[in-house]
Amino acid sequence: MAKKAVLLLIALVFLSSSDLADPTYIPDFGHIVILVHDVSPAYYPELRQLTDLIETYGLQNQTYLFVIPNHGGSGDMSHHPEFVAFLRSLAEKGYHVELHGYDHIGNEFDCDAEEAEIKVDLGLEELESLGFTPKYFIPPRYSLSKSALKVLLSHNLTVIGRDFIYFPDGIQKPIVNREYTWYTPDPLVEYQLMSAEETYRSVRGTFFLSLHPRAANTRSGLEFFREFFEFLQTRFPDP
């Protein structure tokens, strides 16, 4: 019975990793890029825990922090000087500070061009006032209208979606973007780890690893990252 369960598990891993198509290799990212969504003062303790783990394995240069400048409309980042200092310290260590909407309320960028222009201007102004110059943007919940996409690209932002990346010159490329740690139950950690390792081995382009603070800070989520980051080090000492 145990052997059958293992075989079924392996089959599921390959099925979940079989839709790799022809993903894009992005030289700025290399073989792997870690996308940290929902970076805001609301998740300060969780982000400290996650970045400590990332730094243990020397992956800060591969890590992009997607910041919500006014999370839930609760006030701009300048009201949280300790968190701003934390972001600046991370940037000094090699992390990249990027933009993840403005307030992240609802499907914020599934909107018309006028509203998108207002929101992206507010978000960029807030981060730039704190000394950050974003190059990349992830729309909240990956929800994005065509009009909003055009606005973002006109600001020279590269937009990362669930399955595609959109460059300011209008080129669109497929990507492999996976998230394995959304409140993952303990019994599924082994499966998620096997799936991630097999996908990483199989993908011919850049492997995008997404995570959300708090959802990833469970015991199983942290175990996944420790095991997967160990795997990266044994496969490629410099990922």
Domain boundaries, the chain: 2-235
Which amino acid does the sequence have at 95? Y
* Residue showing tokens 């914020």: 108
d(CA 170, CA 4): 48
Side chain identity at residue 66, one-letter code: F
**What is the reported pTM?**
0.92
Extract the runs of DSSP E, i.e. beta strands, from 68-139. 96-99, 136-137
**pLDDT of amino acid 15:** 47
DSSP3 helix / strand / coil % (the chain, rounded to 5): 50, 15, 35
Q: Give the model's pLDDT for residue 23.
A: 87
> What dotted CATH number matches 2-235?
3.20.20.370
φ/ψ of 233, rounded to 5, equals -70, -35
| 96-99 sheet: strands from edge to edge | 172-174, 164-166, 158-160, 136-137, 96-99, 63-67, 32-39, 207-211, 176-179
The answer to whether 70 and 76 have CB atoms below 8 angstroms apart is: yes
Residue 195 in 3-state DSSP? helix
Q: What is the pLDDT along the chain (239 residues), one digit of tens a residue?
A: 444 454 455 445 544 544 555 789 999 999 999 999 999 999 999 999 999 999 999 999 999 999 999 999 988 888 999 999 999 999 999 999 999 999 999 999 999 999 999 999 999 999 999 999 999 999 999 999 999 999 999 999 999 999 999 999 999 999 999 999 999 999 999 999 999 999 999 998 999 999 999 999 999 999 999 999 999 998 765 54
User: Would you call 239 helix, strand, or coil by DSSP?
Assistant: coil
d(Cα 197, Cα 108) in Å, to the nearest integer?
A: 33
What does the alpha-carbon distance between residue 161 and residue 158 come to, in Å, rounded to a whole number? Answer: 10
